[in-house]
Structure 1
Amino acid sequence: MVAYEYKGNCHCGAFRFNISLAEPIASALLCNCSICSKKGYVWNLGPLVDFKVTHGKENELGVYEFGERKIRHMFCIICGSAIMKRIDSNNDDTRLSINLRIVEGVDTWALQVQRFDGWKTLAPEYVAHQFTGEMPSAKDGSQRIYTGSCHCGDVRVALKSLPLDRIEVKEDNCSICRRNANICVYPTDSNIAITGVENTTEYLFGRKFTGHRFCKTCGVPVYMKIYGPPKHIWERLPYDTQERLRPNLALVPLRVAILDNVDISSLSVERNDEGTTGYVLN
């Protein structure tokens, strides 16, 4: 039997693997259950012919279980990339599913999609975690409040915003955003309140202008912290450039998928085909 081989890795490269499938990857499974929606999983269809870890160790990955604890969701504890799930505890690779977002050479935007209504059919029913912190400080009375959280509830947010179908919502396919399923809105810091920041891990790479923050417990990416250039570079920028960039430093990019009762398919999402040019593993 001919096998089609692919390589994959988390963003930081701490965990890398090879997989083989009976057919080339042209389609995927999308589930709308609570965990799949919040993580933005894109699952392979059909069993794997082979799975081999080539760098790192599976037992060093973060593991998140909930409900009846029959499924182990695994993620990199350094960069937060959602990697795979196992449906039993016997390490049977035929019960292993890979998140295609982290597989090299797979354009997840171009895949044929098979949808599964896990929200209605999978137990237990997910109950949203209530936001109990102080609300955003912005005073604009024309805005409404959205709340949301990571899956386990250790990190929770409140967003004060115009209706999401009236504001800018963006998605791109750069190396980190495709892995994190980043479809984001861009509130200012006065329009968002976050509790449980201490329960996040921050991942920085490259120029380290942006920190990508995910829940330590469940691995769900939640938001980004924008730092911009370091002080010694900032001070050398022309004044006009500083003034142009300054408003961006107050933005808090937030993943729409973590918000409760928001149907992303109903929003007008601006896609930027940035690609992964320049992304290289050490």
Structure 2
Amino acid sequence: MSTSPSTSLQPKQLKGNCHCGRFRFLLPANLDLDNLITCACTLCSKLGCLWLRGVATGAFTVTRKEESLVEYQGLRFCGNCGTAVTGDYHSGALKGEVLVNVRAVWGFNPFEHDLGSITQIPAPADEVRSLPSLLPSSVEGETAPPVAHHGSCHCGKVRVELLVDIGTLEIKEDNCSSCVRNAYIGIYPTKSQVRIHGGDNTFEYLYGRKYNGAAHCRTCGVLVFNNVYGPPVSVFDRLPPERKEKVLATYWKNLAMRPLNVRALDDVDVGALKVQREDEGTEGYALVD
């Protein structure tokens, strides 16, 4: 049995969940989904959290598997799909508030909001982020290609080096059910243009047809890069030769990509980027009970 926003919303409640549905919750329907804030701390910035305020203590009702969450510095994310769902602060302006990531609420479309006008709370003075030193630019006497941009998860266990300037790449964002929850803004360099360090510290979330896998840090939950698999090449055998040749050219091009989450780049101002938005929506997304 599957549920959808039109059938699962109760008259006096809003429904929310991580993307895989292992963690689900209810909120009062009278909450103002425009009463949002962002936090300038590095963790919230990398996760792209949009915090919903005004949730009274006891009004956030967990309906499924709270134990599926991983906690990191007061933020909780699903250990299976990576969706950040709740957070709290032990100091600063947000201390004591119940904060829910509105991206996990059914029906929330970030494209319908002016995110640039949302109040931003300064990072807590005691923000903790300790990154290891950057890797040397040469390996075993061999000069490595210069690094244009460095990136990482929040805890530093997963790092990336982008060898081309981000200005040479398309930057895209859509509002599908997964990208909304991950606040994903993608760039699509080739594998040869990216170096990944600490990839074994990630968990991969695959869903739907499993043609793509999102790699999140196991410790802090940040989505750093994606793996592209695509369908088995044999599925194209039924195509006429002239059509097959064109389709396979695109197929191999896609398999050569190493998509990166722009939010994971440490030296890029996301707000200053020109992002191509694709209004796909969440049609077809359903949870299986």
Answer yes or no: same fold by TM over 0.5: yes
Is 2:138–2:144's contact at 8 Å kept on the other side of the alignment?
Answer: no
Correspondence for 1:178: 180
Counterparts of 1:116-127 in structure 2, within 5 Å, are 116-119=120-123, 122-124=125-127, 126=129
Using the TM superposition, give the Cα deviation of residue 114 of structure 1 relative to its aligned residue in structure 2, in angstroms: 2.5
Which runs of 5 or more structure 2 residues have no equivalent in the other structure? 1-10, 91-95
Correspondence for 1:250: 256
Q: SS where residue 215 of structure 2 aligns?
A: strand
Is 1:241 aligned to 2:243, yes or no?
Answer: no
- The amino acid across from 1:30 in the alignment is T
Is 1:265 aligned to 2:267, yes or no?
Answer: no
Using the TM superposition, give the Cα deviation of residue 35 of structure 1 relative to its aligned residue in structure 2, in angstroms: 0.6
Return the TM-score normalized by structure 2.
Answer: 0.83
Distance of aligned partners of 1:156 and 1:219 in 2 relative to their CA distance in 1, 3 Å threshold: same
Correspondence for 2:32: 24
Distance of aligned partners of 1:228 and 1:127 in 2 relative to their CA distance in 1, 3 Å threshold: same
| Residue in structure 2 matching 1:51, options 54, 57, 60 | 60
**Matches of 1:60 and 1:12 in 2, distance apart?**
11
1:42-96 CA distance string (max 9 Å, x none): 110223361111111x23311112xxxxxx21011111111111336xxxxx732
Correspondence for 1:278: 284
Is 1:43–1:99's contact at 8 Å kept on the other side of the alignment?
Answer: yes
RMSD: 2.5
**Matches of 2:147 and 2:121 in 1, distance apart?**
29
Is 1:168–1:186's contact at 8 Å kept on the other side of the alignment?
Answer: yes
Which runs of 5 or more structure 1 residues have no equivalent in the other structure? 66-71, 89-93
Using the TM superposition, give the Cα deviation of residue 196 of structure 1 relative to its aligned residue in structure 2, in angstroms: 0.7
Is 1:20–1:48's contact at 8 Å kept on the other side of the alignment?
Answer: no
- The amino acid across from 1:264 in the alignment is V
- The amino acid across from 1:205 in the alignment is Y
Is 1:226–1:251's contact at 8 Å kept on the other side of the alignment?
Answer: yes
Correspondence for 2:118: 114
Using the TM superposition, give the Cα deviation of residue 118 of structure 1 relative to its aligned residue in structure 2, in angstroms: 2.1
Distance of aligned partners of 1:187 and 1:105 in 2 relative to their CA distance in 1, 3 Å threshold: same
- The amino acid across from 1:150 in the alignment is C
Counterparts of 1:196-211 in structure 2, within 5 Å, are 196-211=198-213
Counterparts of 1:149-168 in structure 2, within 5 Å, are 149-162=152-165, 164-168=166-170
- The amino acid across from 1:13 in the alignment is G
Sequence identity (%): 39
| Residue in structure 2 matching 1:189, options 188, 191, 200 | 191
1:164-207 CA distance string (max 9 Å, x none): 24431111111111111111111100000001111000011111
Correspondence for 1:68: none
Distance of aligned partners of 1:133 and 1:7 in 2 relative to their CA distance in 1, 3 Å threshold: farther
Is 2:18–2:85's contact at 8 Å kept on the other side of the alignment?
Answer: yes
Counterparts of 1:34-73 in structure 2, within 5 Å, are 34-48=42-56, 50-56=59-65, 58-65=66-73, 72-73=74-75
Distance of aligned partners of 1:182 and 1:133 in 2 relative to their CA distance in 1, 3 Å threshold: farther
Residue correspondences, number: 263
Is 1:86–1:97's contact at 8 Å kept on the other side of the alignment?
Answer: yes
Distance of aligned partners of 1:97 and 1:20 in 2 relative to their CA distance in 1, 3 Å threshold: same
1:203-251 CA distance string (max 9 Å, x none): 1111100011100000111110000102442554523311222111111
**Matches of 1:194 and 1:236 in 2, distance apart?**
36
**Matches of 1:256 and 1:74 in 2, distance apart?**
21
Correspondence for 1:132: 135
